[in-house]
Chain A
């Protein structure tokens, strides 16, 4: 539901990042979204086009979402484990409940692909 907010925050971050380069056009933005972030990648991709339509250097860009699984440290196995079903935060091997979350809340901009406005697409 707040994917539009997230899309607008990405836009703001990139506007700040590239403020001093008017020649820059972004073709693609790659972000990392953790399974615990509460973000629906499809909804965010949809929101993206609405968030940037009036922003010249981003208007033609697409958003690429790199999904990251939730992970937690199993105290019994002494191993970091991937939690595929976040409705049951247990070690997938020994079924011990895991309280120590080690990953999955990522919400980061990773890279952007750019070209200069003087280049042909």
Chain B
């Protein structure tokens, strides 16, 4: 307690007393005060994503962020894409996993550039990881950069990676209500790829209902049905990539 005025503060606190007159003063201890901060929590990531997006634009690269649960077929879709378009497009992929280089090894075998990002225990990719992974690549030589996110439908949705658009991959084995269960990812995605269409009947997936649920959450989402394994529907997927690439680069 302050011995001078008995106000309850420690002596060291900065407050006025010891006056030679006896009227009452307000004395403000500022015990707590509120400071306005107004700052985006992910500002650092978002700023980095914006600068990466500018680099992609300057180099006429279309960047695609692919998000899905584990085992939906992200790597299979990319391997199919890279194999089919090897003679037409210059492509590269970075692929995020907690462990193993398996996905990058598999994608590199198509002849395209591929780099593994090992996240350890992290459940999503952040922009600095992508920037580090592509640091040694000549972006000017690329048409497409595919970012295969960590298999997870929750956490990646908050992280802008500088991509031009986001693809949500959902396979017929996962159930028609997947878009409803993970609405934040659905809402943040521009394109939905429904994979494993070749086994939809066998796993009793009502694909129309799956499409309906996607549009219920995100009415303007672009949807394509494919089988990355058999190649069914891949032409439509490539057409989406082609038209977005042409729209971005002004070529056709």
Residues on A facing B (Cβ under 8 Å): 1-2, 5-6, 9-10, 12-14, 17, 27-28, 31, 36-39, 86-90, 97-99, 101, 105, 107-116, 118-121
Contact = CB atoms under 8 A, between A and B. Distances in A.
Interface of B: 8-10, 12-14, 29-45, 122-124, 152, 154-155, 157-158, 180, 183-185, 187-188, 215-220
B38 A109 contact: yes
Contacts of B154: 1-2, 38
A44 to B, nearest CB: 10
Nearest to B180: A87
Nearest to B39: A109
A20 B122 CA distance: 31
A38 B155 CA distance: 7
A68 to B, nearest CB: 13
Nearest to B12: A118
B39 A108 contact: yes
A88 B180 CA distance: 8
B187 A39 contact: no
Nearest to A28: B32
A113 B32 CA distance: 6
A13 B34 contact: no
Contact of A13 (B39, B123, B152, B219): B39
B191 to A, nearest CB: 14
Contacts of B36: 110-111
B129 to A, nearest CB: 12
A36 B187 contact: yes
Contact of A107 (B8, B38, B124, B158): B158
A10 B37 CA distance: 11
B31 to A, nearest CB: 6
10 contacts: A1-B154, A2-B158, A12-B44, A36-B188, A38-B185, A86-B187, A113-B32, A113-B33, A118-B12, A120-B10
Please name the 4 residue pairs, one residue from A and one from B, whose CB atoms are nearest each other, closest first: A97-B219, A2-B155, A99-B220, A38-B184
Nearest to B124: A2
Contacts of B38: 108-110
A3 to B, nearest CB: 9
B13 A119 contact: yes
A9 B184 contact: no
Nearest to B216: A88
Contacts of A113: 32-35
Given A36-B188, A116-B30, A119-B30, A13 B9 contact: no
Contact of B31 (A90, A98, A110, A115): A115
A12 B126 CA distance: 15
Interface centre among A13, A38, A108, A119 (most CB of B within 10 A): A38
Contact of B216 (A6, A87, A119): A87
A112 B154 CA distance: 28
A82 to B, nearest CB: 15
B31 A38 contact: no
Contacts of A6: 41-42, 158
Given A6-B158, A12-B44, A116-B13, 4 more contacts: A87-B183, A107-B42, A109-B38, A120-B9
B158 A38 contact: yes
A39 B183 CA distance: 12
Interface centre among B13, B41, B155, B219 (most CB of A within 10 A): B41
Interface centre among B32, B35, B218 (most CB of A within 10 A): B32
